[in-house]
Each structure stands twice: as C-alpha cells, then as structure tokens.
Chain A
Amino acid sequence: MKTEDLISILAADATPDAPLRPGQIAAASVLAVVVVVGLFLSLIGVRPALAQALLRPEVAAKAILPLLTCVLVAPVALRQLRPGAAGLPAARLLVPLSLAVGLWLWAFMAVPAPLRFAEWMPSAVVECLGLILLLSLVPLWLVLRMMGRGASTAPARAGALAGLAVGCGVAAGYSLFCTKDNPIFYVTFYGAAIGLVTGLGAIAGRRVLRW
C-alpha cells in the first residue's frame, strides 16, 4: 500500500470523533472508587462509633492522608491521557510523604515500647493489605480501561499514577472500617498496600495503555 493510498483510506474514515473528555473520566473514576468502597462498607459496616473516633487526630489522619495524596496525584494521572505529558513532580508528594513519616516517628516515640508493634499480627496485616488491594482491583481496571482511549506516551508511568490515585482513594475509604489506630501500623501497611496497587497499575498500564 502506498502512503498516499493509506491517506485516502484514513480520509474515508474521517467520521466525527468525539474529543477526549478528561473531566468525564475523572468523574467516572471517582464514582468507581466510591461505589466499590461504599458497597464494601455497607456490607461489612463501618467501625463502631465512627464519628467519635474521627475526632481523634490519629484516626482522622488515617483517612485524610491518603485522601490528600489522592487529590494531589489524580490531576497528574489525568494529564497522562494526552501525549507528551510531564510526570509527577516529586514535590507534590513531599507534603503527604513527610506527614506520613512524621506521624510514624511521632507514634514511635509516643507509644510505649511493648505496644508499638502489638498490632502486627499476620491476620491483621493480611486483612489490611488484602482488603485494600482487593477493593482496588475493579476500580483500577475500570480507570485503566477508560484511560485506554487516551494516548499516554509513558504507559507504565500513567498506569502507576492511576494505581497510586486509586489505591489512596480506596485506603481512605477502608480506614472508616479499620480499627487499627496506631500510626506505626497503618502508615506502614496502608503505605505498602498503596505501593502494591501502584506497582500493579504500572505493570497493567504498560500493557493496556500501549498504542
């Protein structure tokens, strides 16, 4: 096929093509996370006396930190829909990351030594990691499917950012169920779970977002 012939084929396929709408993808992604986490919480229930618990700063931080990270990362993830987008500026993660590290260190000093790692039982770790990962799978898959209509020139990075945003959103919702209020526990294992979802996003993105 000569290139000029290819051009006439492409021109014959010049049907109106709806422009990409990142705002719609953002709204649908938020909805996917909210529905999945909402379903989980309505089936299994939020923690007892959630409202009072949220008045305690370390409990509120468990929801606010991942939510903040999600809000900071999501716009960068969405920008990956178009070719030539820049990556995540490291400074953007500096605030939530230093808050998380600070919280961990503060708890390490505030909590008496025998209690520091008291919650680190295999069952608790599996529950926390497993549920955050499990709840992230469907929203992440949906988000990547929607992002496939875009044209990311760095598919693995776009997938990782999507995973980071979804993982953080899910972790924030999951914290309303979780009763492990020691930051040493939740910073470590929420962080690990979010890291796993990010890695999964990168691996899936490399495949799904190629074009």
Chain B
Amino acid sequence: MMDREAEWSALLRAAMEGDGRAYARFLGLVTPVLRGIVRARGRDLGAAGQEDVVQEVLIALHTKRHTWDQTAPLLPWLYAVARHKVVDAFRRRGGSVHLPIDDFVDVLEAEAEPDALAARDSAALIGQLDARSAAIVRAVSLEGQSTAEVGARLSMSEGAVRVALHRAIQRMARLAKGAE
C-alpha cells in the first residue's frame, strides 16, 4: 500500500489545479473510509440516513478544500473536517455523538471494506434543488455527460453549465448545514 498521506495529498493537490480525474479518484478513496466512520457511529440513522451524512461530508470537503494548507499534512485536515461535519450532521438529526479523534486515525489507517451502501440512492440533497439545477446535476452525474454535452442539450454555453453546477453544489452545501 502506498503511503496514504502521500497518495491522497498528491491527488488533492492535482485536483485543486483543476484535474477532475484526480479529484474523482481522491473522493472515491475517501468515501469508503467516511462511510465506515458514519456507519460505526450512526447506527440509529439507518442506512439511508448514514449515506446522507456521507454525502454532506463530501460536499463540505469540496466547498472547503481551499482551507487545506498545502504545505501541511493532509490527513489531519481531513480528520478535522470529517469529524466536524459528522458531529454536526448527527446533532442536527437530534442525536448527540461522541467522536474521539483516535477513531478517525484508526479508521483512516485501516483498509476500507467493500460496501453495500455505495449503490444506495439518496434524494435528500438533490431533491431540494430547483428543476434546472437538478437537471444539470442529473445530467452530469447520472447520465455521465460532460459539461459541454449538457450545455449543447440545454442550449447553454459550457461556462454557464459550469457556473450553474458550481452554484448547485454551493446550494447543497447550505442545505446540508440546515441554513435553508
């Protein structure tokens, strides 16, 4: 196994320079680990609720990725963001949660198990977007179209699609913190 710190920080660094492929790989590696933490800690939420929390943490990682100091190690930053958002998500769902930081270290260092939740569908966030944003989000995600293809179909410029997508994500981030 390659050093996780080195591998993940290289991927996120590339992502922050605009490399979408590296970013997808980074998020794909982080997700099962997050899922393990949420599953272990949030049994009361049920599978659907757990996956919603995982998605909220991913969105928070995305909207706050610029707060990682690239000269410092990535994993402590990642623990701090994940821990904050998991505690926050559980608290808003009416439960309290005790999350010792060691848990994150252990889980992040363990190998992720294959998981059954990955294929689960969650409507919690996308369901609250307006129709046009939701259509763009669906086209990019479910149908795997590029932003250029979506633009052609909806007669929008690619730039406008990117902006709309960016705004939809920011909106989901606000929804996820319970601000709307």
The interface of chain A, by Cβ under 8 A from chain B, is 1-20, 81-84, 149-151, 153, 210-211
Task: Point out the residue from A1, A11, A15 that lies within 8 Å of B55, measured CB to CB.
Answer: A1
Pick from B1-9, B10-18, B105-113 the stretch touching chain A: B10-18
Min C-beta distance of B25 to chain A, whole Å: 9
**Per-position contact with A for B112-132: 1 when CB-CB < 8 Å, else 0?**
000001111111011000000
User: Could you say which of B62, B147, B177 has the most chain A C-beta atoms within 10 Å of its C-beta?
Assistant: B62
Given contacts A18-B66, A82-B67, contact A7 B31 (CB under 8 A): yes
Residues of A within 8 A of B62 (CB): 10, 13
**B171 at interface, CB cutoff 8 A:** no
Whether the Cβ atoms of B27 and A11 lie closer than 8 Å is: yes
B162:A8 contact, CB within 8 angstroms: no
The number of chain B residues touching the other chain, given as a range, is: 35 or more
Contact A84–B79 (Cβ < 8 Å): yes
| Beta-carbon nearest neighbor of B126 in chain A | A1
* Nearest residue, chain B, Cβ from A18: B66
Q: Are A1 and B137 in contact (CB under 8 A)?
A: yes
Chain B's closest residue to A7 (CB) is: B27
In the complex, residue of chain A having the shortest beta-carbon distance to the beta carbon of B70? A19
Give the residue name and chain of the B residue nearest to A11 (CB): B24
* B37 within 8 Å of A (CB atoms): no
